[in-house]
């Protein structure tokens, strides 16, 4: 194996949008630097609990499964070309 081909891993601090911090390793920053996040699971709406509730309880997932749940590659291959045109 070749020596010295991997970048050096440095200990950095990651600061979340709510002010909490944690230590991790990174090749992008120098030793001891801080990465301040603008978007993280705390602030991004896709990870909020109300988004999960909306998707699951208000029927968006059920609506999608109702429309596309029966579609599979096997069922598409079984159809004859004239049946596919009618559908």
- Cα distance between residue 23 and residue 8, in whole Å: 16
Among the listed residues 84, 66, 65, 63, the one whose alpha carbon sits nearest the alpha carbon of residue 75:
84
Query: What pLDDT tens digit does each residue of the chain (87 aa) get?
Result: 788 898 999 999 999 999 999 999 999 999 999 999 998 877 777 666 666 666 566 676 777 777 887 776 666 566 655 655 555
- By three-state DSSP, how is residue 63 classified? helix
Radius of gyration of the chain from its Cα atoms, rounded to whole angstroms: 24
- By three-state DSSP, how is residue 16 classified? coil
Query: How high is the pLDDT of residue 4?
Result: 86
Query: How high is the pLDDT of residue 52?
Result: 60
Domains of the chain by residue range: 10-67
Query: How high is the pLDDT of residue 48?
Result: 65
């Amino acid at each position: 194996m070749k020596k010295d081909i991997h970048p050096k891993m440095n200990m950095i601090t990651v600061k979340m949008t709510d002010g909490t911090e944690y230590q991790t390793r990174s090749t992008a920053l120098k030793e001891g630097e801080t990465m301040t996040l603008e978007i993280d699971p705390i602030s991004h709406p896709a990870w909020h609990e109300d988004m999960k509730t909306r998707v699951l309880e208000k029927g968006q997932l059920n609506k999608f499964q109702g429309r596309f749940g029966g579609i599979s590659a096997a069922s598409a291959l079984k159809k004859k070309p004239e049946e596919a045109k009618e559908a």
